[in-house]
Amino acid sequence: MSFRAEGSVSAEERRGNSGAGNLKERCQKKSAEIIAAISSCLPSGKEKYALHEPAFAGKEWQYTKECLDTGWISSVGKFVDEFEVALRKITGAAAAVAVVNGTAALHIALKLAGVQRDDEVLLPTITFIATANAVTYCGAVPHFVDSTEETLGVDPDKLEAYLEDIVQRESGQSINRLTGRRIKALLVMHTLGHPVDLEKCAALCQRFGIELIEDAAEALGSEYRDRHVGSYGKLSTLSFNGNKVVTTGGGGAILTNDLELGRTAKHITTTAKVPHAWRFYHDEVGYNYRLPNINAAIGLAQLEQLPDFLRRKRVLAERYAQKFRNVDGIRFFSEPQFAKSNYWLNALLLDHTDEEELLRDELLDRSNAAGIQTRPLWEPMHTLPMFHACPRMNLTQAESLHKRLITIPSSACLA
């Protein structure tokens, strides 16, 4: 039996403490190197660098003043109409319906795709909370799927293998044999503006008889094989929140190439009121999801500047990409080969190591303390209490991406 004095430390404990200390020092040193690289890509003279802030350099004041001068500030007006026309021209969609926010757009898109109570909707676990919330608004069940490091979005190859294992076909429908519920739709999300492989996703949906819906909230201006995202799914949605490439303050849109669906979307998002000079008659349950004219006025002025916003954001992205080619252990996340991204949020991806999560958190702490706003990916949906019991496939890659990815300042004004 051996004894040691009270308060003494064994050699093994000293080695352990030393290891922890060295790990902390390594993370501090590496995070300092990364922050210096980020800083070198940003213009000088600012105390704080936001993740993404709006730029108002067009006709926002002029159009907003017209709303105030004429009194047309609420749910109807010429700017709503012109905003929708501009969206159709930019995206190539046959119909565009402006609504109050991206979540409302998702809700209606799911309803119009035929999603009903107790259906399952496939969606990535790595997404903003609105994607999963909108599924539950329909009384449906989120079914979480994995992502690929190529796009940060749905992995269609892994998903196809998974569906082959769990789906049984009944009367042209896909039934989850583990739950007995119908799988009605695949809701893909173009993460940080990077398009998923839409052709593979569309082929998968056709094979299994499920609807494809695109959550393009972050992807205005992004292209998949030289075609604007939002036209592969039955319906698609956009967001114009204050942190998006184009903002209306708060707003969203539903896109579709089915004109009848577009008319229905417009009708039910404007309380399902039948047009009449004075009568208030509503022919079905509708939603007060209308985008106010004054918000559309700001949005129209923003859309007029979209080409310049996209050009400047690509300049900033290339600046980051060049700088991080010479930084070990981390890489700048670039658009997939088949796509042209709007680079809504620029991102850095840490290499796989035992220290990846510690380094991520150290970098987040130190960069934000230095006035450079950085963020991790959203918490995976399947880890949240309200979605913990939802069905899911193996999510190994998504969980890894969450531990390793950091978004960095991306405003167009930084280029």
Measured distance CA(411)–CA(382) in Å, rounded: 30
- Residue 177 has a pLDDT of 97
Query: Residue 17: pLDDT above 60?
Result: no
- Write out the H or E segment, with its range, that includes residue 408: strand 405-408
Span of 42-46, 154-158, 196-200 with lowest mean pLDDT: 42-46
**Which residue blocks in 180-305 are alpha helix, DSSP H?**
198-208, 259-268, 293-304
Measured distance CA(230)–CA(185) in Å, rounded: 15
Contacts of 7 (CB under 8 A, 6+ apart): none
- As a whole number, mean pLDDT of residues 102-122 equals 98
Q: What is the pLDDT of residues 245-270, one digit of tens each?
A: 999 999 999 999 999 999 999 999 99
- Residue 19 has a pLDDT of 62
| 168: β partners | 175
Q: Architecture of 42-54+306-414 per CATH?
A: Alpha-Beta Complex (3.90)
Q: What is the pLDDT of residues 291-304, one digit of tens each?
A: 999 999 999 999 99
By CB atoms closer than 10 A (0-12, 13-18, 19+), residue 388 is exposed
- Residue 51 has a pLDDT of 98
- Residue 20 has a pLDDT of 65
- Write out the H or E segment, with its range, that includes residue 316: helix 306-324
- As a whole number, mean pLDDT of residues 26-50 equals 95
Contacts of 252 (CB under 8 A, 6+ apart): 98, 99, 100, 101, 102, 103, 104, 105, 106, 217, 237, 238, 239, 240, 291
Of 52, 47, 16, 66, residue with least CA distance to 312: 52
Query: Residue 412: pLDDT above 90?
Result: yes
**AA letter at 46:** K
Distance, C-alpha 30 to centroid of its chain: 28
Measured distance CA(43)–CA(255) in Å, rounded: 36
- Tell me which of 63 and 75 has the higher pLDDT: 63
- CATH 3.40.640.10 range(s) for the chain read 60-304
Query: Residue 23: pLDDT above 80?
Result: yes
Of 52, 55, 46, residue with least CA distance to 370: 46
- Residue 21 has a pLDDT of 74
- Residue 42 has a pLDDT of 98
- Residue 231 has a pLDDT of 87
- Residue 383 has a pLDDT of 98
Q: What is the pLDDT of residues 157-195, one digit of tens each?
A: 999 999 999 999 999 999 999 999 999 999 999 999 999
How many CB atoms lie under 10 A from the CB of residue 285? 8
Query: Residue 276: pLDDT above 90?
Result: yes
pTM: 0.93
Measured distance CA(109)–CA(115) in Å, rounded: 9
- Residue 46 has a pLDDT of 92
Q: What is the pLDDT of residues 115-133, one digit of tens each?
A: 999 999 999 999 999 999 9
Confidence band of 389 (pLDDT split at 50, 70, 90): very high
Confidence band of 5 (pLDDT split at 50, 70, 90): very low
- As a whole number, mean pLDDT of residues 121-149 equals 98
Fold of 60-304: Aspartate Aminotransferase; domain 2 (3.40.640)
pLDDT, mean over the chain: 94
Query: Residue 7: pLDDT above 60?
Result: no
- CATH 3.90.1150.10 range(s) for the chain read 42-54+306-414
- Tell me which of 23 and 338 has the higher pLDDT: 338
Contacts of 280 (CB under 8 A, 6+ apart): 273
DSSP, residue by residue, 131-145: HHHHHHHTT-EEEEE
Of 73, 74, 113, 84, residue with least CA distance to 266: 84
Of 53, 135, 155, 116, residue with least CA distance to 401: 155
| 2: β partners | none
Q: CA separation (Å) from 227 to 88, 92, 301, 365? A: 13, 8, 23, 39
Query: Residue 11: pLDDT above 70?
Result: no
Confidence band of 340 (pLDDT split at 50, 70, 90): very high
Measured distance CA(232)–CA(215) in Å, rounded: 11
Q: What is the pLDDT of residues 73-86, one digit of tens each?
A: 988 899 999 999 99
DSSP, residue by residue, 337-398: TTEE---SSEEEEEPS-TTHHHHHHHHHHHHHHTTB--EEPPPPGGGSGGGTTS-B---HHH
Query: Residue 2: pLDDT above 80?
Result: no
How many CB atoms lie under 10 A from the CB of residue 279? 8
- Tell me which of 6 and 25 has the higher pLDDT: 25
- Residue 18 has a pLDDT of 54
How many residues make up the chain in this entry? 415
- As a whole number, mean pLDDT of residues 307-326 equals 98
